[in-house]
């Protein structure tokens, strides 16, 4: 028909959305959420009547499930896609309103995120006694090649100081001229250009102090800041240069997700600056127990989480950590023999594990005797306990090292495989720390068949949420900058993930019984 011909549509938004459309189930689930905390932020005394937070949150979560992340693209969908129109009841919401809402309500969003988890628990779709923890890399919204170093920022500050001095000289000359001509000028505030220069200098001075602190830390860690200085990204100083999962280095954050093993709901979410995943495991588990009033029995994790501090802390909490210990791969280690006082046959020497960095016998080539508190080397010689020493590396806690040393290494046929200098007066040295007993208990526990069987599910359960968030939702790069904005964006993603999981499980239940209600029963 001609495009200028008048057309009368008799249907409604309600009739245009089929009964089984996902947007209807999403809206039904979010209707069960208590929005009181969010509503309290709206006074309603001035300006236009506000759009209810449920509508705003619904459209942002639905857009993320539909892989629409940009606020401008969401605005377009609201104007042109019938399911978005239905969800917002025909409203028009501009991209600026959507963007500001997404940034400004992290605390209220966390409350909605937790309510969805409680709904899943109430419906029997989630159980929090067994959890999986993992971290990933998501690229920051920052240019890989535009960074600050201590030297670069020092040169920039010198240039700024020169510009400020020139501006002050020019301002002085102008004041003298005004005074000579009799002009009355108020000098209660600086000219805008001078004020901007001073504000920029203050901001850069903060970054300079941070870089100096990072360089000092690198020096303590044995790195030379002159050849390998600390770097901060100009557009997002909170991001860090980290190795990508796909290879190469870039500006990255480290998002965290703790997932329950029944249906894969994300019950704990955080974003870290730098690579510190293992340091937050226990605190995140404690927060989950407190928030949802549950007892977590076990946590499945990869090798990065089986640190001595985590093993000791998990035992103190009554928590079973199921994670392999970091070790040199050696499936048939000949060091594990019936009588460690007897030397290993020469034909098996090549099968002993070697340390990748030293290319010498690894610590796992030595056998510990708990009764005598000593080690036995591959030659069957004893390494008795000889003392202790304190060691501190960087900003890490002080570690008490227990030293075991052999006094009978002279003339050993395996000396060139065991020591850098086979002729050295001192024998081979092996060290433990105060967490070694916990490692031994953990190593024994990880050998149990039922534990090994349980651990098999870790990869599927722990990695699936990141696959959904990155592939299905498109969260391979953050849109927002700064740790506050990035944390809010990650929480939106995790909430959308849980909402999608809840929708899937509700559909399964209703396929068997259509009378199932999402409203809590009194």
pLDDT in tens, 230-240: 888 888 889 99
State yes or no: pLDDT of 189 exceeds 60: no
- Alpha-carbon distance 267 to 502, whole Å? 13
User: How high is the pLDDT of residue 394?
Assistant: 62
Q: What is the model's pTM?
A: 0.87
Picking from 90-104, 233-247, 488-502, which range would have the lowest pLDDT averaged per residue? 233-247
State yes or no: pLDDT of 187 exceeds 70: no
User: How high is the pLDDT of residue 188?
Assistant: 47
**What SS3 class is residue 223?**
coil
State yes or no: pLDDT of 211 exceeds 80: yes
State yes or no: pLDDT of 257 exceeds 90: yes
User: How high is the pLDDT of residue 181?
Assistant: 46
- 276: DSSP letter: -
Scanning the structure block, which residue is given the tokens 């480290």?
Answer: 254
φ/ψ (deg, to 5) at 429: -120, 135
User: How high is the pLDDT of residue 29?
Assistant: 94
State yes or no: pLDDT of 72 exceeds 90: yes
State yes or no: pLDDT of 402 exceeds 50: yes
**pLDDT, average across residues 197-204:** 80
Q: Tell me the pLDDT of the chain averaged across its residues.
A: 88
User: How high is the pLDDT of residue 47?
Assistant: 64
User: How high is the pLDDT of residue 8?
Assistant: 74
Picking from 4-8, 304-308, 403-407, 452-456, which range would have the lowest pLDDT averaged per residue? 4-8
State yes or no: pLDDT of 137 exceeds 50: yes
- Alpha-carbon distance 363 to 302, whole Å? 21
State yes or no: pLDDT of 342 exceeds 60: yes
- Per-residue burial over 108-139, b = 16 or more CB atoms within 10 Å of its CB, e = otherwise: bbbebbebbbebbbebebbebebbbbbbbbbb
């Amino acid at each position: 028909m001609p495009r200028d011909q008048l057309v009368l549509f008799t249907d409604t938004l309600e009739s245009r959305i089929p009964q089984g459309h996902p947007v209807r189930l999403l809206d039904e689930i979010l209707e069960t959420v208590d929005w009181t905390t969010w509503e309290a932020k709206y006074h309603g005394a001035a300006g236009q009547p506000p759009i209810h937070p449920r509508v705003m949150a619904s459209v942002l979560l639905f857009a993320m499930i539909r892989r629409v992340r940009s606020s401008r693209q969401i605005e377009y969908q609201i104007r042109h896609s019938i399911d978005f129109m239905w969800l917002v009841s025909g409203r028009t919401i501009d991209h600026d309103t959507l963007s500001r809402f997404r940034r400004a309500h992290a605390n209220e969003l966390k409350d909605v995120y937790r309510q969805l988890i409680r709904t899943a628990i109430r419906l029997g779709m989630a159980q929090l006694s067994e959890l999986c923890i993992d971290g990933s890399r998501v690229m920051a919204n920052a240019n890989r090649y535009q960074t600050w170093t201590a030297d670069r920022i020092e040169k920039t500050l010198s240039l700024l100081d020169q510009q400020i001095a020139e501006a002050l000289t020019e301002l002085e000359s102008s004041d003298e001229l005004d005074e000579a001509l009799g002009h009355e000028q108020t000098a209660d505030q600086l000219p805008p250009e001078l004020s901007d220069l001073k504000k920029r200098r203050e901001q850069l001075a903060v970054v300079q102090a941070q870089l100096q602190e990072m360089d000092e830390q690198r020096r303590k860690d044995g790195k030379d800041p002159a050849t390998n200085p600390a770097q901060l990204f100009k557009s997002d100083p909170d991001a860090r240069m980290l190795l990508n999962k796909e290879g190469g280095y870039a500006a990255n954050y480290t998002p965290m997700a703790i997932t329950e093993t029944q249906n894969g709901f994300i019950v704990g979410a955080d974003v870290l600056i730098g690579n510190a995943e293992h340091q937050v495991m226990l605190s995140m588990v404690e927060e989950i127990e407190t928030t949802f009033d549950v007892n977590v029995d076990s946590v499945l994790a990869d090798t990065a989480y089986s640190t001595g501090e985590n093993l000791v802390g998990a035992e103190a909490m009554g928590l079973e950590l199921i994670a392999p210990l970091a070790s040199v791969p050696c499936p048939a280690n000949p060091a594990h023999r019936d009588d460690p006082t007897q030397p290993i046959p020469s034909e098996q020497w090549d099968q002993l594990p070697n340390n990748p960095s030293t290319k010498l016998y690894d610590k796992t080539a030595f056998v510990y005797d708990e009764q005598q508190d000593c080690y036995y080397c591959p030659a069957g010689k004893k390494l008795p306990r000889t003392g202790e020493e304190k060691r501190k590396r960087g900003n890490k806690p002080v570690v008490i090292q227990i030293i075991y040393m052999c006094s009978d290494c002279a003339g050993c046929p395996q000396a060139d495989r065991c020591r850098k200098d086979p002729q050295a007066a001192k024998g081979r040295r092996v060290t433990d720390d105060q967490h070694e007993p916990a490692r031994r208990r953990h190593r024994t526990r990880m050998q149990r068949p039922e534990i090994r069987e349980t651990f098999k599910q870790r990869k599927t359960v722990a990695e699936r949420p990141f696959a959904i968030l990155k592939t299905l939702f498109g969260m391979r790069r953050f849109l927002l900058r700064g740790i506050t904005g990035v944390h809010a964006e990650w929480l939106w993603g995790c909430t959308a993930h849980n909402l999608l999981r809840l929708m899937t499980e509700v559909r399964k239940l209703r396929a068997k019984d259509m009378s199932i209600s999402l409203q809590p029963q009194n």
